[in-house]
Amino acid sequence: MNACVCIVGWYFQQDLLETLQNIPGLQLYILSHKPRKAILEWVTNPIPEHHLFFERNIGYDWGAYQQFIAKDIWKNFETVFFMHDDITLLDSSVFQICHETIQSHAGKCVVGNGRNTSKRDWPLTHIHCYAHSLWKPPAWDFEHDTVRGSFFAISRSALARINRFETLWDRRRLYGVGAGNYSLRATCGRIQYMLGEEAFLFLSEAYRRSSYLIELERGQEWTPRTAKSPVWKGMNTILVNTSKKLMTWYMNADPVRKQILSRFMQSLFRHV
């Protein structure tokens, strides 16, 4: 196995990191949204300096993954794992199993842990979640699976084809941790569109668990200090409703108007 894992989060459990470091063929990289001075010494000491990254937390978990992707390190590995730091690892062979599964499908799939949900009609019910995304659903009836950001694996070739995760950058703290769900749906839609109907495979049909690992709910339930204020709630509501209206216009527009609306949305979300 020639693989790397990008582990992100706030806690960085010592036993989990030690286990990951001892898996043959797996290179561990840490991307922390806490500053270096806030990370315990037992995290930074055993990990090589060039495997440690400290970034601003403006995109939550999917943002951290995109920050790692932008470094191009993954191009040196056949399989790339993305995971949170607070999962419970039951069987470390999960990395080899995922690697072999991806290889058996010619690299054209993403392997998640437990199935996130059977719901697939996200564009129909949550069209506002794609307003920030460069990729847009091709039709109202386009359906796609989703994989939780807690743990998933993808091949180098598939990641190269996808090129980017559709991260909602919450620079002004107008969304809170819920922005991660926007990023999740838009990214998974992009993956399904590019890799095909069989793009997502799962180790289990159970939510958040398999015989290999247990995923916890998103570890740091961060919300802005102003989240309870009428001003923040009003701004958030305006953003959601504006996104929904823009995407509705986009989905019903002709190709020329779609290009215009797409450029407008890209400009809008560069300033949000």
On average, the pLDDT of the chain sits at: 88
Sheet holding 200-204, edge to edge: 52-54, 26-32, 3-9, 79-84, 151-155, 110-114, 200-204
Cα separation, 137 vs 202, in Å, equals 23
- Look at residue 244 in the predicted model and tell me its pLDDT: 95
Please give the model's pTM, rounded to 2 decimal places: 0.90
pLDDT in tens, 145-177: 999 989 999 999 999 999 999 999 988 777 877
pLDDT in tens, 187-225: 999 999 999 998 999 999 989 899 999 888 754 444 555
Average pLDDT score over residue span 19-39:
86
- Look at residue 255 in the predicted model and tell me its pLDDT: 95
* CATH architecture type of domain 3-270: Alpha-Beta Complex (3.90)
For the chain, domain boundaries: 3-270
